Structure 1
């Protein structure tokens, strides 16, 4: 079993980007909009700020109160769309319930949509055209490529059909060049264990702690664990620990490759956002 070290790969990729940025006259600029006081969102935005500083990007976080109206947020997006100094920006999700997330995403200029959520970027991705690909799926592809994991003709099962991970990664892996035969599973899938046990590559992206057990994984499978759930723990100083969607201790011995949680896909999500921002700056 080989442990896929997302943290090490991300560090290497950030160094490569840092070298590119050092030779640029104008440093790439990334802005994050944070609405409300969600703890997980604050943590994630903090990671992005640190990554920008490491690579040499200019970054800014615009914070808004939880009662900010949809109209106010749309006005801010319009400003960023028209700000020539901003290469890319993201709206940290989730947003407060009174704001329609899709309306907000649709308002972003696709050329600055470094999260890859705008319908224009999603559509281009599905067609195999150049696009900003959402960060987590892009990070998964980078890990597969870095570890020279063969995907051509392999059976890939994706558990989860979210627009952020499940749907895009299933589309990407089916494109020419990756050439997987992809099955997407969800809450209504019948015989889920049987379907998963046929997978050469299993991507778990449903957000349910330790859902995937050893009887769902065949010997020699590649397992990519996207899930991350915070659970109470008496064994840590802070009183909690992070679990993935895969029951790691019992699944790992059966795998050829597996990502840990934390330290697997997570760091690659951040670095992929950075790569999209660098690409946006270069396109200018």
Structure 2
């Protein structure tokens, strides 16, 4: 999956440019977080809440994990105690919204968009409102959207939108502690085939952590030479919940940017040098490491 490490190179190589400049759009500034374990949905939520805390003066959320008792309580522990999660897995956008409320973010919106133009339009609208939508789809081993009927269900944070040189709509996403880009059509195809009530996973505890049976196919076999020490089965999504198929989760807040700011127009239209200068200034102002977009 294509990773973004140099924003100037990314613009020149991938983003469509016309007489007005590069066609791209950035949403809420975010810092990706490394994922450890079966917590991709919680990790995506944690990324958004921590970004709102750091950049928009919203409440400080719980840490994602206790990190071997570094913290007394965590978002993962909350999900296990209050929402019947077994190892940090979440199958419902409604549960994620409830966890956000428990962390001081009671205002969230869950959208189900079954048509491609509405799906992409909803995500763009969120970014125009200085937000970072969370979306859900299956991924293959490299992180590309895939068609696995929820067996590799994943969550990412959308940080930006752009038109590539082939004039295809694309998203800039945060996952696994880094930034990547992906075609919007591939994302929509994947989210549209998710199950509304996926089969509950069975998790096995090894020395390296918790693994579900399906994911062991993608991990080094030496991790599983010893027999697992514990087994847990996830709970089924309640009927009527709808799971994560075509869902978009937006944590709402009051944007503090002016209507004329970098984050407010439908597209950001600047020359290459101006885009780079503004982006680097924004990184420095928000203390985002320059080595990652």
Normalised to the residue count of structure 1, the TM-score between the two structures is 0.28
Compare relative contact order (CA 8 Å, sep 6+) and give the higher one, 1 or 2.
2
More helix by share: 1
Normalised to the residue count of structure 2, the TM-score between the two structures is 0.28
